[in-house]
Structure 1
Amino acid sequence: MALGRLLLGVMVTFAVALAAVTVWGTIERANAGPGASGGSTSESQADAPAAPAVQVTTTPAAGATGVGPAQPATVHVANGKLTDIALVGPDGAAVAGHPTPDGWTSTAPLAFSATYTWKGAAADATGAAQPLTGTFTTVTPQNKIAANLNIADNATVGVAAPIIVQFNGPVTDKAAAQRALSVQTSVPTPGSWAWLPDTEQGSRAHWRPEGYWKPGTQVDVAANLQGVDAGGGTWGTANVTSHFTIGRSQIVKADVKSFQMVVVRDGKPVMTVPASYGLGADPNRNTTNGVHVVMGKQQTKLMSNPAYGYNNVPEHWAVRISNNGEFIHANPLSEGAQGNENVTHGCVNLSTQDAENYFNTAIFGDPVEVTGSPVAMPQTDIYDWSYTWPEWQKLSALPV
Structure 2
Amino acid sequence: MSRIRRHTLLRRPARNAVVVGTAVLAAALTACSGGSGGSGDAKGGADISGAKKAEISVNLTGQQAKAGEPVKVTLAGGKLQQVTVTDGKGGTLAGKIAADGRTWTSDRNAAPGTTYAVEAKDDKGSTAKAGFATAAADKVNKLTLVPGKNSTVGVAQPLSIVFDHPVKNKAAVEKQLKVTTSNNTEGSWGWMEDYSGKTRVDWRPKEYWKSGTKVTLNADLNGVDSGSGWFVRDYTTNVTIGKNQVVKVDLDNHRLKVYRDGAVVKDIPVSGGTPGGDKRSWRGKAVLMAKEGTINMNSETVGLGDAYNKMVDYSMRLTWSGMYAHAAPWNSQYFGNTNHSSGCIGMSDANAKELYGMAQPGDPFEITGDETKGPQAVNNGYGEWNLGWEQWQKKSALNGAATSGA
One-letter amino acid of the structure 2 residue matched with residue 312 of structure 1: N
2:262 paired residue number: 267
**Corresponding residue number in structure 2 for 1:354:** 351
2:70 aligns with 71
Tell me which residue corresponds to 2:336: 339
Q: What letter is aligned with 1:211?
A: E
Structure 1 partner of 2:316: 319
Match of 2:389 in 1: 389
CA offset at residue 283 of structure 1?
2.5
Shift of 1:317: 1.3
- Measure how far apart 1:86 and its partner are: 6.2
**TM value normalised by structure 1:** 0.76
Q: Is the 8 A contact 2:180 2:216 kept in 1?
A: yes
Write the letter of the residue equivalent to 1:332.
Answer: P
1:14-93 map, 5 Å: 58=57, 60=59, 66-68=65-67, 71-72=70-71, 74=73, 79-82=78-81
Shift of 1:351: 1.1
The 3-state SS of whatever aligns with 2:230 is strand
Aligned to 1:286: 280
Partner SS state of residue 385, structure 1: helix
- Determine if contact 1:52/1:79 at 8 Å carries over to the other structure: no
Of stretches 251-260 and 301-310 in structure 1, the one that deviates more from structure 2 is 301-310
Secondary structure at the aligned position of 1:145 is classed as coil
* CA shift for structure 1 position 231: 2.1
Say which is worse superposed, 220-229 or 139-148, in terms of deviation. Answer: 139-148
Counterpart residue number, 2:143: 147
Post-superposition offset of 1:187: 0.3
User: Residues 68 and 138 of structure 1 are in contact (CA less than 8 Å); yes or no, is this contact kept in structure 2?
Assistant: yes
Change (3 A) 1:132 1:247: same
Q: Percent identity?
A: 30
Describe the shift of the 1:98–1:205 C-alpha distance in structure 2 as closer, same or farther (beyond 3 A).
closer
Match of 1:161 among 149, 157, 163: 157
User: What CA distance in whole angstroms lies between the structure 1 residues aligned with 2:90 and 2:312?
Assistant: 59
Distance 1:326 1:74, change over 3 A: same
Stretch deviating more after TM superposition (349-358 or 98-107): 98-107
What are the Cα deviations for residues 156-209 of structure 1, in whole angstroms up to 9, with x where unaligned?
A: 000000111111111110111111111000002110001112554631111000
Moved more, 195-204 or 205-214: 195-204
Is the 8 Å Cα contact of residues 256 and 277 (structure 1) preserved in structure 2? yes
Does structure 1 residue 251 correspond to structure 2 residue 246?
yes
Could you list the runs of 5+ residues in structure 1 that have no partner in the other structure?
A: 1-39, 43-49
1:183 equivalent among 160, 179, 186: 179
Distance (whole Å) between structure 2 residues aligned to residue 197 and residue 239 of structure 1: 22
Distance 1:95 1:394 in 2: 36
Q: Is the Cα contact below 8 Å between 1:316 and 1:330 reproduced in 2?
A: yes
Name the CA shift for 1:58/1:393 in 2 (closer, same or farther; >3 Å).
farther
Mapping for residues 56-135 of structure 1, pairs under 5 Å? 58=57, 60=59, 66-68=65-67, 71-72=70-71, 74=73, 79-82=78-81, 96=92, 102=101, 110-113=110-113, 116=116, 118=118, 122=122, 132=128
Structure 1 residues 58 and 311: alpha-carbon distance in aligned structure 2, compared to 1, 3 A threshold? farther
How many positions carry a matched residue from both structures?
Answer: 345
Structure 2 counterpart of 1:384, which letter? E
Question: Looking at CA atoms only, which structure, 1 or 2, has the larger radius of gyration?
Answer: 1
The change in CA–CA distance for 1:349 and 1:117 in structure 2 (over 3 A counts) is: closer
Which one of 167, 171, 182 corresponds to residue 167 of structure 2? 171
Q: Distance in 2 between matches of 1:168 and 1:196?
A: 14
Secondary structure class of the residue paired with 1:314? strand
C-alpha displacement at 1:230, in angstroms?
A: 1.5
Structure in which a larger fraction of residues adopt helix: 1
Cα RMSD, aligned residues only: 3.3
**SS in structure 2 of the partner of residue 230 of structure 1:** coil
Q: In the alignment, is the contact (CA less than 8 A) between 2:222 and 2:233 conserved in 1?
A: yes
Does the aligned pair in 2 maintain the 1:97–1:108 contact within 8 Å? yes
Once residues 164 and 293 of structure 1 are traced to their aligned partners in structure 2, the CA distance between those partners, rounded to angstroms, is: 13
Give the TM-score normalised by the residue count of structure 2: 0.75
The answer to whether the aligner puts 1:238 opposite 2:226 as a matched pair is no
SS at match of 1:284: coil
Q: Which runs of 5+ in 2 are unaligned?
A: 1-35, 39-48, 402-406
Larger displacement relative to structure 2 (331-340 or 389-398):
331-340
Report the alpha carbon displacement of residue 259 of structure 1 after superposing the two structures with TM. Answer: 1.1
Report the Cα distance in structure 1 between the residues aligned to 2:129 and 2:92, rounded to whole angstroms: 18
Q: Is the 2:257–2:264 contact (alpha carbons within 8 Å) kept by the matching residues of 1? A: yes
CA displacement at 1:312 relative to structure 2: 3.1
One-letter amino acid of the structure 2 residue matched with residue 204 of structure 1: R
SS of equivalent to 2:256: strand
In structure 2, do the counterparts of structure 1 residues 59 and 213 end up closer, same or farther at CA, with 3 Å as the change threshold? farther
Within-5 A mapping of 1:363-382: 363-373=360-370, 374-379=372-377, 380-382=380-382
SS at 2:172 equivalent: helix
Q: Which residue does 2:201 correspond to in 1?
A: 205
Question: How big is each residue's C-alpha offset from its partner over 1:47-90, in whole Å with a ceiling of 9 and x where there is no partner?
Answer: xxx989676555536679743357355466863455x966576x
Partner residue, 1:225: 221
- Shift of the alpha carbon at 1:122? 3.6
> Which AA in structure 2 matches 1:175?
A
Distance in 1 between the 2:192 and 2:254 partners?
33
